[in-house]
Amino acid sequence: MSLQLEMLGTGSAFAKNYYNNNALLYDEQFTLLIDCGITAPLALHNLGKPFNEIDAILITHIHADHVGGLEELAFQMKYIYKRKMILYISDDLVEPLWENTLKGGCYQAGEITSLEDIFDVRPLQPLKPHYITEHIILELIPTKHIPGKASYSIYINESIFYSSDMTFDPSLLLHLVQTRGCKTILHECQLQGPGEVHTTLQELVTLSEDIQQRIYLMHYSDEKVHYLNETGSMTFLEQNLIYEF
Mean pLDDT of 137-149: 97
**What band does 2 get if pLDDT is binned at 50, 70 and 90?**
confident
Let me know: does 183 contact 151? Beta carbons within 8 Å: no
What average pLDDT does the chain have? 97
Domain hosting 210: range is 4-244
The percentage of residues in the chain with a pLDDT greater than 70, rounded to a whole number, is 100
Domains in the chain: how many in total? Answer: 1
Q: What is the pLDDT of residues 76-100, one digit of tens each?
A: 999 999 999 999 999 999 999 999 9
Contacts (Cβ under 8 Å, ≥6 apart) of 97? 59, 62, 67, 70, 89, 115
Quick one: residue 158, left, alpha or beta (phi over 0 = left, psi -120 to 50 = alpha)?
Answer: left
Decide if pLDDT at 1 tops 80. no
Is the pLDDT assigned to residue 218 strictly greater than 80? Answer: yes
Give the CATH number, domain containing residue 176.
3.60.15.10
State the average pLDDT over residues 37-45: 98
Please report which confidence band the pLDDT of residue 28 belongs to, taking 50, 70 and 90 as the band edges. Answer: confident
User: What is the pLDDT averaged over residues 210-214?
Assistant: 98
